[in-house]
Structure formats: C-alpha cells, structure tokens
Amino acid sequence: MEFLKGIRLSAFLDCYQEWHACVIGFCEVLCPWPPRCHCERSEAISSEYHYYMFGRAMGVIAWLIIAKIIQEAFW
C-alpha cells in the first residue's frame, strides 16, 4: 500500500463543482433521455472533466447492477 500514501481522500469531491460534474456524468448515463441543454455542459464540466468521467463510470456500474437485479428477479 505504499502507492496510496500520496493520495488525499479528503480532497475527493470536496466542492460543489466536483459534485456537479460527477452528478451530470452519472445522470447522463443512467437517464435514457437526451440532455436538455448543451450550453451548460461545457462550463460545468470543463474544469472538472475527470469527475464527470468518474460519474459516467458510476452510471455504467449502476446499469450493470440494475441489469443483474432484473436478471435475478425474472430469470
């Protein structure tokens, strides 16, 4: 665990811009509808793009979990 010594978890999602980018990414993947406004996306995501991509990855994982639950419930 030597490689984790330089990582500060207290700085992870510690301001609203990071949360906003993460939630936008998560909702874009989880929600089947197209985004309503493309103008806001560039301002909200440009500085926190890595959190946006993390949110998208969490959305994909959420879909996999939902698919597994549906598979277990109906098959």
- Measured CA to CA in angstroms, residue 64 lies from 5, 24, 49 at distances of 32, 19, 23
Domain ranges of the chain: 14-74
Query: Residue 74: what pLDDT?
Result: 92
Per residue of the chain (75 residues), give pLDDT as tens.
Answer: 566 677 677 778 888 888 888 998 898 888 877 766 655 556 778 888 889 899 999 999 999 999 999 999 998
- Give the tokens for residue 53: 């991509």
Cα 72 to Cα 61: distance, rounded to the nearest angstrom? 17
